[in-house]
């Protein structure tokens, strides 16, 4: 419903021939076509949301026709083809595009995004983690000799739409579990690369995600090592300077808890902090299906 955006077409692999509002009643009445049948020359920007590597051919065609691409998969988030072999167990079919893709975290990379032809939409967990940490790293607050320890909880939609036994209602309801503990999750290199671009040092990230028995939302707790004893007031001042004009970043008052309920169905990222000596404890929340 943005006044400056017109939707020319939408595609679907599973609902081809149906209308978008039949699948999502709140959406416009647009016929769903096969992605191979569209003409990307008709639009200024195309959003591609396909399983990893499935949209590379479509991306190439769109870029060749002069159309900008915003890709929602992980296909262009990492800079090295070797990283895709290690973390996704795939050989990247367009390594040359990794060099030109811009990481699409708008509050951090807005100026680069404006001039980019290929934008890599960030992962859900990294969005909730990089938004509160990058401003502090840019202000030289990060003690890189110590690890960043992150504990994130996500609703089941973060695992995608493909049915899996461990995501069935009877498996998830009344349960809470950790998975891919420590150094196993594929979002780790994405966070490492973005932080390394800021600090020129590879950070030691220890990341444990958890599956919540809720449909959507991510709440992250980040144990961020400070170089020295900074006060909460000083840290809040850094956030205020960076995010004062960002309508979708909300720095909460000290007494306000970060809550999934307050961000669901919004583009907000809420952030709060607590300082314990030389350790900053950050909590953040986003809606993984919007932000």
Say if residues 269 and 248 touch (Cβ distance below 8 Å).
yes
**Shared domain check, 256 and 201:** yes
Which has the closest alpha carbon to 289: 209, 186, 216?
A: 216
Q: Is residue 115 assigned to a domain? A: yes
pLDDT of amino acid 165 = 79
pLDDT of amino acid 229 = 79
Grouping H, G, I as helix, E, B as strand and the rest as coil, residue 171 is: helix
Record the tokens describing residue 221, joined without a space: 């707790």
Q: Is residue 18 assigned to a domain? A: no
CATH number at residue 182: 3.30.360.10
Grouping H, G, I as helix, E, B as strand and the rest as coil, residue 149 is: strand
The residue with tokens 């020359």 is 41
**Shared domain check, 204 and 251:** yes
**Shared domain check, 140 and 91:** no
Q: Is residue 9 assigned to a domain? A: no
**Shared domain check, 244 and 131:** yes
| Catalytic site positions | 124
**Shared domain check, 48 and 163:** no
Rg for the chain, CA atoms, rounded: 20
Beta strands in the chain (DSSP E): 10-11, 32-33, 45-48, 68-71, 102-103, 118-120, 148-154, 177-178, 205-211, 218-225, 249-251, 269-276, 279-286
Helix axes 188-199, 124-138, angle to 10 degrees: 20
**Shared domain check, 210 and 112:** no
Last residue of a domain, one of 95, 120, 145: 120
CA 154 – CA 152 distance, rounded (Å): 7
Neighbours of 161 (CB within 10 A): 7
**Shared domain check, 203 and 250:** yes
**Shared domain check, 188 and 214:** yes
CA 21 – CA 287 distance, rounded (Å): 22
Last residue of a domain, one of 77, 93, 120: 120
CATH number at residue 44: 3.40.50.720
pLDDT of amino acid 48 = 95
The dihedral built from the CA positions of residue 159, 163, 165 and 169, taken in this order, carries a sign that is positive
Last residue of a domain, one of 71, 89, 120: 120
pTM, whole model, 2 decimals? 0.94
CA 235 – CA 141 distance, rounded (Å): 9
**Shared domain check, 170 and 108:** no
**Shared domain check, 268 and 187:** yes
Tens of pLDDT, residue by residue, the chain (291 residues):
789 999 999 999 889 999 999 999 998 899 999 988 889 999 999 999 998 889 999 999 999 999 999 999 999 999 999 999 999 999 999 999 999 999 999 999 999 999 999 999 999 999 999 999 999 999 999 999 999 999 999 999 887 777 777 778 888 889 999 999 999 999 999 999 999 999 888 999 999 999 999 999 999 999 999 998 789 999 999 999 999 999 999 999 999 999 999 999 999 999 999 999 999 999 999 999 999
Number of structural domains in the chain: 2
Say if residues 223 and 136 touch (Cβ distance below 8 Å).
no
Contacts of 180 by beta carbon, 8 Å cutoff, 6+ apart:
208, 209
| Domain residue limits at 88 | 39-120
pLDDT of amino acid 159 = 76
CA 270 – CA 219 distance, rounded (Å): 9
pLDDT of amino acid 119 = 99
**Shared domain check, 270 and 203:** yes
Q: Is residue 195 assigned to a domain? A: yes
What pairs with residue 208 in β-bridges?
A: 151
DSSP H or E segment with residue 125: helix 124-138
**Shared domain check, 157 and 50:** no
Q: Is residue 233 assigned to a domain? A: yes
């Amino acid at each position: 419903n943005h006044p400056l955006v017109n939707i020319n077409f939408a595609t679907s692999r599973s609902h081809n021939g149906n209308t978008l509002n039949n699948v999502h009643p709140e959406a416009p009445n647009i016929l769903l076509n096969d992605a191979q049948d569209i003409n990307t020359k008709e639009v200024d920007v195309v959003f591609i949301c396909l399983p990893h590597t499935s949209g590379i051919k479509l991306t190439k065609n769109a870029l060749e026709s002069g159309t900008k691409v915003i890709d929602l998969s992980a296909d262009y988030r990492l800079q090295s083809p070797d990283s895709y072999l290690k973390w996704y167990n795939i050989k990247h079919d367009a390594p040359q595009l990794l060099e030109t893709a811009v990481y699409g975290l708008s509050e951090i990379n807005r100026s680069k995004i404006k001039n980019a032809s290929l934008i890599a939409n960030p992962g859900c967990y990294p969005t909730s983690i990089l938004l509160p940490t990058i401003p502090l790293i840019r202000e030289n607050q990060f003690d890189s000799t110590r690890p960043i320890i992150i504990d994130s909880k996500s609703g089941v939609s973060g695992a995608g739409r493909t049915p899996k036994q461990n995501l069935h209602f009877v498996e998830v309801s009344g349960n809470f579990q950790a998975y891919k503990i420590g150094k196993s999750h594929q979002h780790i290199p994405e966070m490492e690369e973005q932080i390394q671009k800021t600090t020129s040092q590879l950070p030691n990230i220890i990341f444990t995600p958890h599956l919540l028995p809720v449909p959507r939302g991510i709440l992250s707790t980040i144990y961020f090592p400070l170089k020295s004893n900074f006060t909460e007031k000083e840290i809040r001042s850094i956030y205020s300077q960076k995010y004062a004009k960002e309508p979708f970043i909300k720095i909460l008052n000290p007494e306000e808890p970060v809550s999934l309920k307050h961000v669901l169905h919004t583009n907000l990222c809420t952030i709060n902090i607590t300082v314990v000596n030389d350790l900053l404890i950050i909590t953040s929340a986003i809606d993984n299906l919007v932000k």
